[in-house]
């Protein structure tokens, strides 16, 4: 599932509209809007309540550990796409991160590798196809999975095949795969609770906001740009009416010097024959 990226797109729905106007090919808009409405209903009545309950009963460090472990499980897919993109440095970092976090980090619960300077990154086959020069194609909204494109939907199928966990045989393998999918969906949805709520309350047309931002973020991801929720601006950082003038000093800053006292201005002498109050 590409749930993490979908929710990242939701996080900056309004930001994308404020800072860029991306033309998105959407010939299937009628179908896409129907799928968007379906996904919204499932989210409001099923996934969101579960995510809020998860947040309420678990402390933040626990949720962070779950997110770290889920990312660690994606390492084989990330590594394969690093290699396919001819990025040996990033591929080496992925291998090192997986080894360190799987051992010292206790099955990936603790992101020890990041403290050693090996920052995490995400790659998928949709990004790889983009690096190879393939255009995204028409925009799609997939049932339950959310925003996508012809290229990225195809890439998702390949990513499933690239992940050895999806076909490895071991005791309890099916239960493990189902649990990973369910926990991943809940974890991603919990991480975007506030952003999605802001989007629903602030955007005139959330469908257009998500569509626009999806295109922007995917192009950024293809160029190894920002793809993580924590790297993206929050709604409250975006002015609600225009962009502030960068030259205007915020009112809460102390001026560097006291302003000079205002000098009294001489009263002009009225010309002869003038009348007061004219």
Which pLDDT value is given to residue 266? Answer: 52
Please give the residue that has the higher pLDDT: either 21 or 216. Answer: 216
Mean pLDDT lowest for which of 5-9, 21-25, 70-74? Answer: 5-9
Quick check: 124 and 159 in contact, CB under 8 A?
Answer: yes
Instruction: Give the lowest-confidence range in 32-46, 66-80, 89-103, 228-242.
Output: 228-242
Tokens of 253: 């800053």
- Domain ranges for the chain, please list them: 3-232
Residue 255 has pLDDT above 50, yes or no: no
Per-residue pLDDT band for 236 (boundaries 50, 70, 90) equals very low
Burial of 191 (0-12, 13-18, 19+ CB in 10 A): buried
> Could you report the per-residue pLDDT of 101-143, keeping only the tens digit for each?
999 999 999 999 999 999 999 999 999 999 999 999 999 999 9
- Kindly report which listed range (104-113, 183-192, 240-249, 255-264) carries the lowest average pLDDT score: 240-249
Separation of alpha carbons 144 and 157, rounded Å: 15
Average pLDDT over all residues of the chain: 81
Dig out the tokens for 163 from the structure: 């992940």
Q: Return the pLDDT at 25.
A: 87
- 0.85 exceeded by pTM: no
Q: What per-residue confidence (pLDDT) applies to 8?
A: 45
Question: Residue 225: what pLDDT?
Answer: 55
Residue of 252 and 217 predicted with greater confidence: 217
Angle, nearest 10°, between helix axes 3-11 and 173-191?
0
């Amino acid at each position: 599932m590409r749930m993490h990226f979908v929710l990242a797109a939701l996080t900056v729905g309004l930001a994308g509209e404020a800072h860029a106007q991306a033309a998105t090919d959407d010939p299937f808009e009628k179908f896409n809007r129907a799928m968007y409405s379906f996904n919204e209903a499932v989210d409001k009545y099923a996934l969101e309540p579960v995510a809020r309950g998860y947040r309420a009963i678990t402390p933040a460090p626990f949720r962070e550990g779950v997110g770290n472990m889920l990312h660690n499980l994606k390492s084989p897919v990330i590594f394969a796409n690093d290699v396919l993109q001819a990025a040996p440095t990033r591929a080496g970092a992925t291998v090192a991160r997986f080894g360190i976090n799987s051992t010292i980090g206790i099955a990936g619960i603790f992101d020890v590798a990041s403290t050693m300077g090996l920052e995490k990154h995400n790659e998928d086959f949709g990004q790889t196809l983009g690096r190879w020069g393939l255009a995204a194609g028409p925009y799609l909204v997939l049932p339950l999975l959310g925003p996508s494109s012809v290229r990225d939907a195809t890439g998702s199928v390949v990513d499933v095949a690239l992940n050895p966990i999806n076909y490895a045989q071991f005791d309890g393998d099916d239960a493990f795969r189902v649990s990973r999918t369910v926990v991943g969906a809940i974890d991603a949805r919990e991480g975007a609770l506030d952003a999605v709520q802001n989007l629903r309350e602030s955007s005139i047309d959330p469908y257009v906001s998500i569509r626009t931002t999806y295109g922007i973020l995917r192009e950024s991801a293809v160029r190894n740009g920002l793809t993580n929720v924590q790297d993206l601006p929050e709604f409250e950082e975006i002015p609600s009416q225009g962009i502030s003038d960068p030259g205007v000093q915020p009112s809460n800053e102390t001026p560097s010097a006291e302003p000079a006292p205002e000098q009294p201005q001489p009263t002009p002498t009225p010309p002869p024959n003038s009348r007061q109050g004219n």
